[in-house]
Amino acid sequence: MSVVIALANQKGGVGKTTTTVSLAAALAARHLRVLIVDADPQANATSAVGATKDDEGGLYEALVDERPLGDAVRDTNIANLAVLPTTPALAGAEVELVSVMAREYRMKRALDALRPRFDVILVDCPPSLGLLTVNALAACDEVIIPVQCEYFALEGLSHLSHTIELVQRNLNPRLVIRGVVLTMFDGRTNLSREVETEVRTHFKQTFRAVIPRSIRLAEAPSHGEPINVFDPLSAGAKAYDDLADELIEALRARDLLPPLPVKVTPPGLPVAITATPTAIMTTPAPTSTAITSTHNSQTEQAHGGA
Ligand SMILES: Nc1ncnc2c1ncn2[C@@H]1O[C@H](COP(=O)(O)OP(=O)(O)OP(=O)(O)O)[C@@H](O)[C@H]1O
Ligand SMILES: [Mg+2]
């Protein structure tokens, strides 16, 4: 049981990478085994978790030469969180795949082989609707669409919806739009509130959690740390915690996650990684009351410190 989720929007700078990394770290803190797949040659997700671009072979080789991805997966300094770093060669994949048979399924084959090792695989897409994004949409069970709370927020979303429909019709009938995430929300402006209303009107599946504009979220990548490590009590960390909880609830309803305890690990602990299935399975299962109280105390802390 595992789920692959693509974070896609062909618009640049809307918060795809920030959401991939922050959400991944929040899910990992909830004892899920999480893999970030950096499918963007810009390598922002790779560096945001303190990893480096990998020359050893990875996604590019899997897509173009159909080589297995196993060895390319790297642990991070965060417990339960691994990353598949991007490679400099990935930029060429869009062009090289054009003449390949069944080219849209290359990423699916590669990621399906990794499913037994992870509960959640998040794919950070590049800002285009080219073959890398189409491969990610064909490979995933669900797609999350980050939308920046600014003028023209909805522009381009009809194009993205159309692409998703085409993928559903021709490549991946099981693909579900999990929801839109509103990012860089500034509560002091009417504009942010208007965009929120408009997006919620058009997209019923908009997450309740809204990501605020926060300098701490912008600073975290330069330290190679996700927000729940860099500043666990910040408003940004709290928002991504809420998003993670909402996502887990939805995935559990679809039976896409194992019935594991959702217990938050105090963030920032330098725990050696490699979340093995055994490590996960030996975690004592608390009662549902214990789960709620653990989460609430974290939430209150976050409120108090934000
Ligand atoms: N909630 C936020 N508050 C403040 N800054 C943010 C927030 N989210 C993202 N940013 C900043 O905005 C910029 C764009 O964010 P990000 O890289 O996550 O977008 P992206 O959609 O992945 O971009 P690209 O399309 O280039 O891949 C980055 O500098 C990031 O640090
Ligand atoms: Mg990005």
Query: What would the pLDDT profile of 187-229 be if each residue is shown by its tens digit?
Result: 999 999 999 999 999 999 999 999 999 999 999 999 999 999 9
Structure tokens at 112: 């399906």
Mean pLDDT of the chain: 85
The residue-averaged pLDDT of 105-114 equals 94
26-30, 67-71, 127-131, 245-249: segment of lowest average pLDDT: 67-71
Q: How far is the CA of 181 from the centre of ligand 2 (A)?
A: 15
- Residue 79 predicted with pLDDT over 60: yes
pLDDT at residue 98, as a whole number: 81
Percentage, residues of the chain above pLDDT 70: 83
Query: What would the pLDDT profile of 257-287 be if each residue is shown by its tens digit?
Result: 987 555 565 555 544 443 333 333 333 333 3
Ligand 1 atom at minimum distance from 44 CA = 17
C-alpha–C-alpha distance, residues 228 and 236, integer Å? 9
Ligand 1 binding site (Cβ under 6 Å of any ligand atom): 12-18, 40, 42, 44, 127, 183-184, 211, 213-214, 217-218, 221, 236
pTM: 0.86
Name the residue at shortest CA distance from atom 14 of ligand 1. 13
Under 8 Å between Cβ of 143 and 164: yes
For residue 38, give the nearest of 132, 139, 163, 116 by alpha carbon: 132
Domains of the chain and CATH, by start:
3-305 (3.40.50.300)
In the chain, where do the E strands start and end?
3-7, 34-38, 74-75, 81-84, 120-124, 142-148, 176-185, 206-212
> Residues 69, 74, 78, CA angle at the centre, nearest 5°?
140
Question: In Å, how far are 170, 241, 284, 301 from 304, measured between CA atoms?
Answer: 49, 15, 29, 5
Edge-to-edge strand ranges of the sheet holding 74-75:
74-75, 81-84, 34-38, 120-124, 3-7, 142-148, 176-185, 206-212
CA atoms within 13 A on the CB side of 272: 2
For residue 177, give the nearest of 196, 192, 162 by alpha carbon: 162
Q: How far is the CA of 148 from the centre of ligand 1 (A)?
A: 9
Structure tokens at 282: 């030996």
- Residue 244 predicted with pLDDT over 60: yes
Q: How far is the CA of 293 from the centre of ligand 2 (A)?
A: 35
Confidence class for position 302, pLDDT limits 50, 70, 90: very low
The residue-averaged pLDDT of 102-111 equals 91
Question: In Å, how far are 4, 45, 106, 138, 214 from 65, measured between CA atoms?
Answer: 22, 23, 9, 18, 41
The residue whose CB lies within 8 Å of the most ligand 1 atoms, and thus the one to mutate among 9, 11, 16, 18, is 18
Q: Write the CB contacts of 265 (distance below 8 Å, at least 6 apart in sequence).
A: 28, 29, 30, 31, 79, 80, 271
> Residues 105, 154, 178, CA angle at the centre, nearest 5°?
45
The residue-averaged pLDDT of 87-101 equals 82
pLDDT at residue 57, as a whole number: 67
Task: Give me the residues paired with residue 5 across strands.
Answer: 122, 142
- Residue 93 predicted with pLDDT over 70: yes
- Residue 291 predicted with pLDDT over 60: no
pLDDT at residue 285, as a whole number: 38
